[in-house]
């Protein structure tokens, strides 16, 4: 089974209170479809949780407009720890989550009218498109960007969809490209620019010199959920002035406060494992077979990028469409690369959480 990167399945976010922050995400991003909620121990992740098995609760939520989802993750066996330093642009790891918008100017107006904490003003990114940054109540930074590849129009008042990529702080962009371009398939460089940039100037350390590379993929992603997950872009950002950049998750556990991983929906996990090992990014975690996530199931694995940021791969085996009716989709015997029918993907919208 040849490897297929089907799209960004979700951004993992460690939080102190799942239900409280998810309500904010529903209001501002329209991420209101519950795929699963699961409370359990995380025995396979001890490499990243201090050698001990910890318990957690996790909620996977999507938007029917399109985009990757959020896996909103909360420790139940310990507190959720914040970084003991102020995270700044250029620090290593997932600095901001990209959220797609149908109309960035209208999204900006909605966020402003509803009291969101906007960092700076509405500006234009190096590619000439409108953009702005916003901070959630937990201090996580989101980059609102112009979206494409929409699945459905839910008419959410924020004009937002869901996850459309991420901004990642790296120590050496050229080294990081081996992973993000070659393995993850973001082969197209939309811009590669060096300087001081207006659109990031309001961020901590944002008025210093950076190299920025925006990566995208030419071909549409394939796979069961690709039409819903949509296209995405990765921005690599490297500080050229700071000599004090720190790993965002330095001295903390996976699952602690912030963006804990970037997860890709994949097919052909064995081939992917072989490729990652050959290119110097061996799996550090591998569930090996179907891992039960409450109502969902699949095989998952992790690799580290050159600076230690965690990339997760999930080969989905089972997903609930309508749990109350016992309606699940089993994917292992489906043709590789084939999308689920649009009506089945739309049926996932029946799991909407209303406020």
Q: How many CB atoms lie within 10 A of CB 266?
A: 25
What is the model's pLDDT at position 297? 76
Rounded CA-CA distance 232/28 in Å is 20
4 touches 337 (CB < 8 A) = yes
For the stretch 19-36, pLDDT in tens is 999 999 999 999 999 998
- Per residue in 208-237, pLDDT (tens digit) is 999 999 999 999 999 999 999 999 999 999
Give tens-digit pLDDT for 58-95.
Answer: 999 999 999 999 999 999 999 999 999 999 999 999 99
Q: Is residue 205 part of a domain?
A: yes
Specify the DSSP element, H or E, that contains 297: strand 296-304
Range of the domain at 47: 9-351
Mean pLDDT of 177-196: 98
- How many Cα atoms sit within 13 Å of 201 on the Cβ side? 11
Distance, in Å, from the CA atom of 5 to the CA atom of 281, rounded to the nearest integer, reads: 16
Mean pLDDT, rounded, of the chain: 94
pLDDT of 103 strictly over 90:
yes
Q: Where does the pLDDT of residue 335 fall: very low under 50, low under 70, confident under 90, or very high at 90 and above?
A: confident
* Residue 282 belongs to some domain of the structure: yes
State mean pLDDT over 39-52.
94
Q: Is residue 4 part of a domain?
A: no
Q: What is the pLDDT of residue 289?
A: 72
pLDDT at 18 (0 to 100)? 97
Look at residues 139, 177, 119, 154 and name the one whose alpha carbon lies nearest to residue 24: 139
pLDDT band at 334 (very low <50, low <70, confident <90, very high): confident
pLDDT at 214 (0 to 100): 98
CA distance 78 to 14: 12
Q: Is the pLDDT of residue 293 over 60?
A: no
CATH code assigned at 19: 3.10.180.10
pLDDT above 60 (res 134): yes
Give the closest residue to 234 by CA, choosing from 300, 283, 187. 187
Q: What is the pLDDT of residues 235-247, one digit of tens each?
A: 999 999 999 999 9
Query: How many domains does the structure of the chain reveal?
Result: 1
Are the beta carbons of 43 and 288 closer than 8 angstroms? no
Whole-number pLDDT of residue 291 = 64
Task: Answer whether residue 118 shows pLDDT above 90.
Answer: yes
The alpha carbons of the chain give a radius of gyration, in whole angstroms, of 19
DSSP 92: B
**58 found inside a domain:** yes
DSSP 20-61: HHHHHHHHHH---EEEEEEEEE-GGGGGGTTTS--EEEEEEE
| 289 vs 95, higher pLDDT | 95
Q: Which two tokens stand for residue 150?
A: 């929409």
């Amino acid at each position: 089974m040849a490897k297929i990167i089907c799209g960004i399945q979700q951004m993992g976010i460690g939080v102190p209170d799942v239900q409280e922050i998810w309500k904010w995400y529903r209001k501002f991003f329209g991420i209101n479809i519950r795929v699963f909620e699961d409370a359990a121990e995380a025995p396979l992740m001890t490499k990243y949780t201090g050698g001990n098995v910890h318990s957690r609760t996790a909620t996977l939520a999507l938007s029917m407009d399109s985009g990757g989802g959020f896996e909103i993750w909360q420790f139940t066996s310990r507190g959720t720890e914040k970084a003991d330093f102020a995270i700044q642009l250029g620090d290593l790891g997932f600095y901001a989550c990209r959220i797609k918008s149908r109309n960035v100017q209208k999204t900006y107006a909605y966020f402003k009218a509803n009291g969101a904490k906007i960092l700076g003003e509405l500006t234009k990114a190096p590619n000439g498109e409108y953009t702005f940054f916003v901070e959630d109540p937990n201090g996580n930074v989101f980059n609102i960007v112009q979206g494409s590849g929409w699945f459905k129009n839910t008419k959410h008042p924020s004009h937002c969809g869901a996850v459309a990529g991420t901004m990642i702080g790296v120590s050496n962009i050229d080294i990081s490209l081996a992973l993000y371009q070659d393995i993850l398939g973001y082969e197209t460089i939309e811009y590669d620019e060096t300087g001081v940039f207006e659109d990031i100037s309001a961020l901590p350390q944002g008025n210093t010199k950076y190299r920025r590379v925006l990566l995208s993929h030419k071909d549409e992603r394939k796979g069961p959920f690709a039409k819903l997950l949509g296209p995405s872009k990765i921005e690599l950002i490297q500080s050229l002035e700071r000599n004090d950049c720190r790993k965002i998750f330095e001295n903390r556990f996976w699952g602690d406060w912030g963006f804990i991983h970037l997860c890709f929906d994949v097919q052909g996990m064995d081939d992917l494992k072989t490729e990652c090992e050959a290119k110097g990014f061996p799996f550090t975690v591998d569930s090996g077979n179907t891992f039960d996530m409450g109502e969902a199931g699949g095989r998952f694995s992790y690799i580290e990028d050159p600076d230690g940021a965690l990339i997760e791969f999930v080969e989905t085996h089972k997903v609930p469409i309508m749990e109350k009716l016992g309606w699940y989709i089993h994917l292992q015997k489906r043709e590789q690369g084939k999308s689920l029918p649009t009506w089945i993907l739309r049926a996932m919208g029946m799991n909407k959480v209303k406020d």
